[in-house]
Amino acid sequence: RAKATFMQDQIMIQSSSNTTTTPNHDTTKLNDAAKDLLTLLSIDKSNKDATLLLQTIRARHGVLQQQTADATTPVSQTLSTIQNATQLTQVIHHLKVLLGLLHNDDNTISTSMEFGRKGGVSQMMKLVQQQEHQYNIHNDTNEKEEGVQSSSFDATITISKMRTLALQVLACACSNPPFVWTYCGPKQQQQQQQ
């Protein structure tokens, strides 16, 4: 019986690392496997394989919790929204939100470090290098004979505003030395170029 439980738990743990399952489903499988192993260890305390498997479960459970927690933070959600935005006004709005998070947070260093971990540096550099045609630009003004500003002029100003905000976000994050040492050093620039 103990051997069958152990084998079943091994299969359950391997299936929980499948990329097609949801984190909640994986957590449920890991919890069930941990309960079985704890029952097994209460009967046979010297079972080293079960002890190792339980440690593996705890480690994988910790990773799942961290991934779930990271995906729900304001910085993570804002970066995701910026990346998926189709409207330039959305990008500008969320850059302002991100700037506020980096500037006003009680724990600025951890916010900056999360910004770096989530790929914020490369994402901001891409925004700085964006071209006008990559976003939908809605403008109600039409060119008139009397010289009202054209929509291409407004688009240029809007793109310029986006670039400026992206650089401000980078500057705010770079005001923390640990962020600079970790995400803006020569090694990191070489990795981004590859």
SS3 of the chain: helix, strand, coil, percent, to 5: 75, 0, 25
> What is the model's pTM?
0.56
Contacts of residue 186, defined as CB under 8 A and 6 or more positions apart, other chains included, come to none
pLDDT tens, position by position, for the chain (194 residues)?
566 666 666 666 666 555 545 556 677 888 888 888 888 888 888 888 888 888 888 888 777 776 665 567 888 889 999 998 888 889 999 999 999 988 875 677 888 998 998 899 999 999 988 765 555 555 444 444 444 445 565 767 788 899 999 999 999 999 888 888 888 877 655 455 55
Q: Give the tokens for residue 177.
A: 């030395």
**What DSSP state is assigned to residue 44?**
-
